[in-house]
Amino acid sequence: MKKDIILAGVGGQGILTIATIIGDAAAAAGVNLKQAEVHGMSQRGGDVQSNLRLSNDVIYSDLIKQGSADMIISMEPMEALRYLPYLNDEGVVVTSSNVFKNIPNYPDGQALMGELEALSRVSMLPIEDLAKQNSMPKSANVVLLGMAAKYIEILSPEQLRESIKRVFASKGESVVEMNCQAFDLGLNSVK
């Protein structure tokens, strides 16, 4: 089995934390992993993107070619659309519906939502709003990971949850618990 995933978002949204959690889970499960990241102007709200390639077989390249990604996981709807050319015909998009207007000519929000809703396989929720409503505003990215967990397939939701515990362990039990709750919130919101 293999899974090619593009993670996308804006600097400061936690995309690289999602990549760290998935990478840790893959290492613990003995799944091969190759990763490539583009940080751009991430500290100024610029594009952040990561290619994650997971497989039970040998992986020769860390980059995902156009038309071959199995999944796009995006913290921002416009960033999800930016990487659609990389998605394969059966691929799924898991994205936040909360926009982050980081450029002056940001597209119309309704038009963006219309493009995303027209996709055959999309899971979209206002994750930032959900995280705030549940008193975990800094864990929106982990809510998104929970939404994506059932589609990742090569790693189980339980393997990802255990990885969350390891990745956040140094921050204390309350941070670990909050992120596990955020993950479960996302996981249970996808039908």
Per-residue pLDDT averaged across 175-179, rounded? 97
Per-residue pLDDT averaged across 66-73, rounded? 97
Per-residue pLDDT averaged across 101-109, rounded? 76
Q: How far is residue 112's CA from residue 153's CA, in Å, rounded to a whole number?
A: 28
User: Which residues are paired to 124 by β-bridges?
Assistant: 95
Residue 127 in this model has a pLDDT that exceeds 90: yes
pLDDT band at 43 (very low <50, low <70, confident <90, very high): low
DSSP annotation string for the chain:
-EEEEEEEEETTSSHHHHHHHHHHHHHHHT-EEEEEEE-TTGGGT-EEEEEEEEESS----SSPPTT-EEEEEESSHHHHHHTGGGEEEEEEEEEE------STTPPPHHHHHHHHHTSSSEEEE-HHHHHHHTT-GGGHHHHHHHHHHHHH-SS-HHHHHHHHHHHHGGG-HHHHHHHHHHHHHHHHH--
Q: How many CB atoms lie within 10 A of CB 175?
A: 16
pLDDT given for residue 182 in this prediction = 98
Mean pLDDT of the chain: 91
Name the residue ranges covered by the structural domains of the chain. 2-189
Just give the CATH number of 2-189: 3.40.920.10
